[in-house]
Structure 1
């Protein structure tokens, strides 16, 4: 195991070191490992099973302002292709976000497809190419907006005009992402796996993404690099290292951490697994995580302890997240449970 760990660990800590700021423009989750399609559409289907459905709810900044609330639901269905060891994953991502006093809302409906090409006849080793794209809609409640123009000599006067002239309360656009990933078994143990991937989000650079309808505004593309390493410690326990680095314009975010896991019953095919660990969003928050699997379901809880410059106003409190996952092999012919090789993590 020590020999197989050297390269994964070097990559993992390099990923941590290259981050510089913890601020991004896109929606993000602290339990990023429960929203794989948001990270990279080429991570769809890299799990042990035929179907996976995940839901995440996030409530943030409740101690500072009107809380930001974000919900995510993603699903994946994996099936063999042809007579070889290749697989195809069909999936989709639905997002809802409501932010701040003016109720800025965002809805995303994004179908996805990922093709896994087998690179080895001896062990699990796959190169995957994935695409995700669809419809995004954003809206705002203009009645909740207050501006400097509405303040007179005595205070706020709602009868005064806001001075804002944006012509619409909502707009929509098409969005697209593409990614690649490499997933392989490490050593002789098929339970030891690593994946590494890169994704390019908003590649179509949608225009007019503003309430003013300005054609000069366009969606800024985002690069995301992802890494995962899972290794057995002994027959009862294993650990998982996970990390993401993203860059969108001048904004960057680095997030990385680890989970230690205990098989609580059958070591060959456990139904109950307990995971515990923590993640760090660089210069922003430390996030403890607890997850319990009771197959085919799992539930995980995390909380952001704020480390940024806002920690004084927030009293160190950030975001609460709850995630639910359903994951299993289907009772059908040619399921991935019967495959000698299959992309998994």
Structure 2
């Protein structure tokens, strides 16, 4: 990379970190493997198990930044009161998000608890409503930031005073999300699910620059998704996914397809996974993985297709995910109200 390009990129990234207030929320390319961060109505929305635990790790821009963006998520949810509520149940769960963004030391920590109510509308459809309440914290070390007015033509001089002043370097707030889900499953070979959620319903204040509440409220974020499980035969299940989100003036759309291949005959205890996704105007995302006895591992890689590829040589982000699903006690899923394709 030429020196001029390096300087331009460093300035752009520094400004992006310092003005993070209205940027997109934390997100994963494998959005379908972080269900509670997408929609609180996904809490307990588990068609093929009684409970699940999961973790995700994302490493972004490691090819161009000494301190790449790193995001970690841990979640868990379960179905409860299934024998006490006629044709319905509650979902309880929660998740933790942690993120470190670049050399500026911008750290985000979010902790949420979720609840959802699931009601069968008929023998082949399900409607869900949910919400979550969380606590979020963001903090930054301004001494690690460099701004354009500290650039002397060749280097950034941290001893040079800057006109950029942060009023706060540590902000915390409570946050609320709400969402709806609908699923349609006419037979054991077809399962279709769609949902819509609104994040930051209470529009909390989030800024490092000003205490003016009117100018620093976090914009609401809208998320819509649709997916399906389609059983082709006893060896193959297809899983198309589409996801769209918008917040302030930013938006993102991701579409793609996974395929599960059964390696173990009846029961599907061992499966091979492969998929390909596209984030509009930004990246192509191949994914591979495997599942062994209800534990699923997946890995994806963002190959940059935007103009940023001129700086990172297509090397966007790597992402790892693990999910463990299970049943209560001696339950094996035979009495479940919601059916979905399975081996």
Shorter-chain TM-score: what band? 0.7 to 0.9
Q: Which residue is 1:146 aligned to?
A: 146
| Deviation readout 1:164-185 (Å, 9 max, x if unpaired) | 3323221011111100010121
Q: Which residue is 2:258 aligned to?
A: 259
**Range moving further from structure 2, 42-51 or 220-229:** 42-51
Q: Which residue is 1:73 aligned to?
A: 74
Specify whether residues 284 and 150 from structure 1 end up closer, same or farther in structure 2 by C-alpha distance, changes over 3 A only: closer
Q: C-alpha distance in 1, partners of 2:230/2:154?
A: 66
Specify whether residues 165 and 250 from structure 1 end up closer, same or farther in structure 2 by C-alpha distance, changes over 3 A only: closer
1:266 to partner: Cα distance: 3.0
CA RMSD of aligned residues (A): 2.1
Gaps of 5+ in 1: 1-22
Q: C-alpha distance in 2, partners of 1:314/1:253?
A: 20
Q: Which residue is 1:289 aligned to?
A: 287
Task: Please show how residues 128-207 of structure 1 align to structure 2 within 5 Å.
Answer: 128-151=128-151, 156-186=156-186, 188-189=187-188, 191-207=189-205
* Residue from 98, 101, 117 that aligns with 2:100: 98
Q: Which residue is 1:302 aligned to?
A: 300
Q: C-alpha distance in 2, partners of 1:60/1:274?
A: 26
- Contact 1:336–1:342 (CA under 8 A) maintained in structure 2: no
Q: C-alpha distance in 2, partners of 1:26/1:203?
A: 14
Q: C-alpha distance in 1, partners of 2:248/2:230?
A: 35
Q: Which residue is 1:17 aligned to?
A: none
Specify whether residues 156 and 86 from structure 1 end up closer, same or farther in structure 2 by C-alpha distance, changes over 3 A only: closer
- Contact 2:79–2:91 (CA under 8 A) maintained in structure 1: yes
Task: Please show how residues 264-283 of structure 1 align to structure 2 within 5 Å.
Answer: 264-267=263-266, 269-283=267-281
Specify whether residues 315 and 203 from structure 1 end up closer, same or farther in structure 2 by C-alpha distance, changes over 3 A only: same
Q: C-alpha distance in 1, partners of 2:109/2:322?
A: 20
| Deviation readout 1:226-256 (Å, 9 max, x if unpaired) | 1011111111111001111111122111101
Q: Which residue is 1:230 aligned to?
A: 229
| Deviation readout 1:35-68 (Å, 9 max, x if unpaired) | 0111111122222111101100000011122311
- Report the number of matched residues: 316
Q: C-alpha distance in 2, partners of 1:301/1:247?
A: 26
Query: Bigger relative contact order, structure 1 or 2, given CA contacts below 8 A and separation 6+?
Result: 1
Q: C-alpha distance in 1, partners of 2:27/2:262?
A: 30
1:211 to partner: Cα distance: 4.2
Q: Which residue is 1:13 aligned to?
A: none
**Range moving further from structure 2, 98-107 or 155-164:** 155-164
Q: C-alpha distance in 2, partners of 1:255/1:155?
A: 38
State the SS of the aligned residue for 1:324: strand
1:275 to partner: Cα distance: 1.1
- Contact 1:210–1:217 (CA under 8 A) maintained in structure 2: no
Specify whether residues 83 and 178 from structure 1 end up closer, same or farther in structure 2 by C-alpha distance, changes over 3 A only: closer
* Residue from 329, 335, 338 that aligns with 1:339: 335
State the SS of the aligned residue for 1:337: coil
**Range moving further from structure 2, 72-81 or 158-167:** 158-167
1:265 to partner: Cα distance: 1.1
- Contact 1:106–1:138 (CA under 8 A) maintained in structure 2: yes
| Deviation readout 1:131-157 (Å, 9 max, x if unpaired) | 012100001012212234445689644
Gaps of 5+ in 2: 1-21
- Contact 1:296–1:327 (CA under 8 A) maintained in structure 2: yes
- Contact 1:183–1:193 (CA under 8 A) maintained in structure 2: yes
